[in-house]
């Protein structure tokens, strides 16, 4: 079959991801721009345009200041760079909590303006009616239970959940409520391993762990963390590369060659046109 007649690559959909419950683990990473989305796309099932963009790209202290416009801009870029992965865009703090109607209007805007396949909401038991409202109106929702970065101010920081009886019961209740409300998958972040296992066994939809358990139906990591772009990474991150060292070496070599006038060399400049 020639390149001209090859069938177009089919992008994964929310039902495809939901059908992976208990099957082959779901591979997920965050992305915020077109080039990195293109590099990871052949290897991932789900690309999350996370509101972590505020911290790892824009240098903000938390995700609270991330705006809807920022998420749309980065979502558009990731959609341009990817072809086969389901792209899910985080709904930022303040864009869905006020009312079901506010949540619907902003989720529709994100889906329409980015072309993404779903949205993710940091959820609680109290958000169940909103998630149900969205799902009933054809908005595919990924829930997010456990440690919720958008609640960091209220929690006094980024603190693991499910490590005592009260916290455990709360995580289980959140997961059950999101399952019943119709989310097609859920991120389980920063919870005790046994709680993540219990959540995965309890709910009918795939769980995607981050700082949770290998028993989850998939895993997600922040791209910059797993590539080693920062001096410090959370406990649950494994560095699969050290791009910080590679970048620093490249910058050092470039600076040296510029200062010595070794760059640009003959291969990097234009000559006059021959007459």
Q: What is the pLDDT of residues 200-225, one digit of tens each?
A: 999 999 999 999 999 999 999 999 99
- 23-33 burial, b if ≥16 CB within 10 A, otherwise e? eeebbbbbbbb
Of the listed ranges 91-100, 230-239, 248-257, the one predicted with least confidence: 230-239
Of 189, 245, 248, 257, the active-site residue reads 189
Model's pTM, two decimal places? 0.94
- Confidence band of 4 (pLDDT split at 50, 70, 90): low
- Annotation says 24 is catalytic: no
- Confidence band of 49 (pLDDT split at 50, 70, 90): very high
Each residue of 169-204: pLDDT tens digit?
Answer: 999 999 999 999 999 999 999 999 999 999 999 999
CA distance 2 to 173: 53
Asked if the model's pLDDT at residue 46 lies above 80, the reply is: yes
Average pLDDT over residues 1-5: 57
CA distance 49 to 85: 12
Task: Return phi, psi of residue 145, to 5°.
Answer: -120, 165
Asked if the model's pLDDT at residue 3 lies above 60, the reply is: no
Average pLDDT over residues 14-26: 98
CB < 8 Å & 24+ apart, contacts of 123-128: 123/148, 123/174, 123/177, 123/178, 123/183, 123/186, 124/148, 124/174, 125/170, 125/173, 125/174, 125/177, 127/97, 127/177, 128/177, 128/178, 128/180, 128/181
Task: Return phi, psi of residue 120, to 5°.
Answer: -120, 135
Other Cβ atoms closer than 10 A to 13: 14
pLDDT of residue 274: 81
CA distance 194 to 215: 9
pLDDT of residue 149: 81
Asked if the model's pLDDT at residue 5 lies above 70, the reply is: no
């Amino acid at each position: 079959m020639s390149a001209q007649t090859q069938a177009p690559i089919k992008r994964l959909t929310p039902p495809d991801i939901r059908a992976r419950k208990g099957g082959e683990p779901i591979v997920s990473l965050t992305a915020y721009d077109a080039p990195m989305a293109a590099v990871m796309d052949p290897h991932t099932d789900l690309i999350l345009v996370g509101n972590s963009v505020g911290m790892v790209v824009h240098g903000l202290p938390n995700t609270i200041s991330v705006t809807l416009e920022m998420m749309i801009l980065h979502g558009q870029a990731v959609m341009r760079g990817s072809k086969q992965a389901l792209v899910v865009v985080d709904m930022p703090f303040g864009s869905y909590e006020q009312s079901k109607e506010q949540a619907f209007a902003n989720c529709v805007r994100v889906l329409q303006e980015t072309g993404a396949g779903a949205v993710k909401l940091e959820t609680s038991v109290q958000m169940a009616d909103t998630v149900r409202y969205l799902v009933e109106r054809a908005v595919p929702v990924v829930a997010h239970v456990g440690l919720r970065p958008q609640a960091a101010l209220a929690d006094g920081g980024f603190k693991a959940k499910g490590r005592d009886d009260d916290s455990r019961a709360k995580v289980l209740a959140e997961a059950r409520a999101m399952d019943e409300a119709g989310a097609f998958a859920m991120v389980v972040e920063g919870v005790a391993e046994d709680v993540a296992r219990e959540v995965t066994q309890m709910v009918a939809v795939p769980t995607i762990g981050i700082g949770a358990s290998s028993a989850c139906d998939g895993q997600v990591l922040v791209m910059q963390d797993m590539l080693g772009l920062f001096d410090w990474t959370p406990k649950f991150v494994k560095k699969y590369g050290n791009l910080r060292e590679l970048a620093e070496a490249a910058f050092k070599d470039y600076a040296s060659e510029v200062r010595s006038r070794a760059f640009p060399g003959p291969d990097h400049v234009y000559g006059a046109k021959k007459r």
